[in-house]
Chains A and B, each alone.
Chain A
């Protein structure tokens, strides 16, 4: 099992569809992240989840809805997206609680909105 697994790897959806991206980590980490990577912008932090709190980037539109049912799973629910939402969505996890706290990334979900 790889450390951080994202599914699906590729997703094509229409603007009226509802879909979800899934992330699972097998590293025993206690914080999980969603980032958006598009060609025209640097990696954009969307959401951070830990057992204690949720942190979000206030500029993320409400058509993106995160869900973190437990410390190993993270979802990004997508509804009524726009073409500009097409991007690579990266999930990451970290141990937190001191140390370097580096992020471990999944391979990403490539989203195309038609």
Chain B
């Protein structure tokens, strides 16, 4: 069965520093996708970045990058030059399969609350 683990309930980081949020996963399916979402205090879930299991390079989107280590089954999110607006809950998520089946299960980790200090 698929499983997502985020071991950092909360983190404090100084503004402008880089931060790494940890995520490990478990699946027996060779094809899967990994996602990171941000949930500010307002409650909306915002998609940040995606990594496919067969992607050769680590995904990057602006200040976000995903440190994908397939052998270790980890998919850590790196935020460079953190900003006050980055303060939020961050969730790692996984989809088993290649996404062709439109009814794919996507499960979430327990989240990490990131707080940026000015």
Contact = CB atoms under 8 A, between A and B. Distances in A.
A94 B35 contact: no
Interface in A98-114: 98-105, 107-108
A107 B102 contact: no
Interface stretch (B11-19, B21-29, B76-84, B91-99): B91-99
A104 B110 CA distance: 19
Interface residues of A, number: 33
A7 interface: no
B45 A103 contact: yes
Interface residues of B, number: 26
B44 A45 contact: no
Interface of A: 30-31, 33, 35, 41-43, 45, 48-55, 88, 90, 92, 94-105, 107-108
Interface of B: 33, 35, 37, 43-45, 47, 50, 52, 91, 93, 95, 98-111
6 contacts: A94-B102, A96-B99, A96-B102, A96-B104, A97-B99, A98-B98
